[in-house]
Amino acid sequence: SSVQVSPLSSGTSPTAFLVSKASIHTWHKRLGHPHSAVLKTIVTSNQLPLEDSSFSKPQCTDCILGKATRLPFTPSSSVSTTPLELVHSDVWGPSPIDSCTGYRYY
């Protein structure tokens, strides 16, 4: 099996796309919320146009919320002594649409 190489037609002129200048916070969001060190490397190596030439670590609310943790539950004072004496369950509802069997809470 051989490879055939065909020259491309030069009927069209070369096209370039320009990106408008954006803040470091905008680039942080556009690039998928990378760490500030990664963002700095990307910005400097790819010469992305910044509105402000100084690099500041973005304070991103979404990143802060994504790294937040919940405190553990407080110890419970209720203790069961027999099976099914104490049952914990999650209940959701009412659903705006009934289930096949007519239930609205899950």
In a domain, 41, yes or no: yes
Query: In which domain, by residue range, is 57 found?
Result: 24-67
In a domain, 106, yes or no: no
Whole-structure pTM value: 0.47
What is Dmax (Cα atoms) for the chain? 84
Q: Is the bond leading into 94 cis (omega within 30 degrees of zero)?
A: yes
In a domain, 17, yes or no: no
pLDDT digits (tens, 9 = 90+) for 20-77: 788 888 888 888 998 888 888 887 787 777 777 666 676 888 998 888 888 888 888 8
In a domain, 13, yes or no: no
Quick check: 1 pLDDT over 60? Answer: no
Quick check: 82 pLDDT over 90? Answer: yes
pLDDT digits (tens, 9 = 90+) for 6-31: 666 666 676 666 667 888 888 888 88
In a domain, 44, yes or no: yes
In a domain, 52, yes or no: yes
In a domain, 88, yes or no: no
